[in-house]
Amino acid sequence: MAFSDEQLERYSRHLILRGVGVAGQKRLLAASVLIVGAGGLGSPVALYLAAAGVGRIGIVDGDTVDLSNLQRQIIHTTANVGEPKAESAAASIRAINPDVTVETYDEPVDAGNIADLIARYDLVIDATDNFSAKFLINDACVLAGRPFIHAGVVGFAGQVMTVVPGHGPCYRCIFGDMPAAGEVPTCREAGVLGAVVGVIGSLEATEALKLIIGVGEPLVGRMLTVDALTMNIRRVPLPDHVPDCPVCGDRPTITTLDPDNYIQPACAI
């Protein structure tokens, strides 16, 4: 494909960047990414992927914009309160970059629809706020062989890891079974500093762009943790293989997505 004059100007800083260049920008324009959650994490992910020229972006979120979201969910504005988050996010993406095709799914993600959703995209972004959704995304992506970027934030701290099935551990390898309801607070219960969510979401976007372009070292087999109060940033090594992981281990017991195992609907941070 040949770049238009507008694209040559729009992506000029990529085109001159060693490691991206013409080949990398073409990969971005040909790529597709599904973002699960159009909230605090999904906002910077969607905005940066759109600005970078990722050709097709899916936004799935069954919620509407609430005034309490605007402290951190920067893809929405006060004028969007009451609108479906997926549609509000799509409008912001289209305003940034008309090159991007945006597909919206104004519905909650669950065991019944996630396999069909992720099958349409090259890469998945976990931008959700509860363990049920995170385990669902992990299990569905591992079963489908689809790479995804995980992130979690609460209070002043966050974490990011990249899962490429067959290459390093999955989310369930590290965290085992999901905790009992109420055992670990969500940001809705404990609060969250909005700027921290922006930092972690931007790191997710960076990981996604690296994977698409094929540059650098993704966080496969590693977890990046950020404590914003101390600015302590650590890259924690993870095991290469967990034989007893129930979804990607030597004798997996999770081979289908049972709705009874994922009882909490996916919601955005």
- 111: closest CA among 264, 267, 218, 262? 262
- 50: closest CA among 64, 38, 68, 66? 38
Catalytic residue check, 141: no
Q: Which residues pair with 234 in a beta bridge?
A: 225
141 marked as binding residue: no
CA count, 13 A, side-chain hemisphere, 239 = 13
198 marked as binding residue: no
Running DSSP on this structure, what letter comes out for residue 67? G
170 marked as binding residue: yes
10 marked as binding residue: no
Sheet arrangement for strand 157-163? 101-105, 56-60, 32-36, 123-126, 148-154, 157-163, 222-227, 232-237
For residue 134, the SS3 value is helix
Catalytic residue among 187, 219, 224, 269: 187
CB 43 within 8 A of CB 73: yes
267 marked as binding residue: no
109 marked as binding residue: yes
- Separation between Cα atoms, residue 124 and residue 57, nearest integer Å: 10
Q: Which two tokens stand for residue 55?
A: 């050709």
| Residue in the block written with tokens 């990529």 | 14
210 marked as binding residue: no
State in Å, rounded, how far the first CA of the chain is from the last one.
38
Please work out, in degrees rounded to the nearest 5, the angle formed at the alpha carbon of residue 73 by the alpha carbons of 209 and 59: 55
Cβ neighbour number for residue 6 with a 10 Å cutoff: 10
173 marked as binding residue: yes
What residues act catalytically?
187
Binding-site residues for ATP, please?
13, 40, 61, 72, 85, 109
Binding-site residues, please?
13, 40, 61, 72, 85, 109, 170, 173, 245, 248
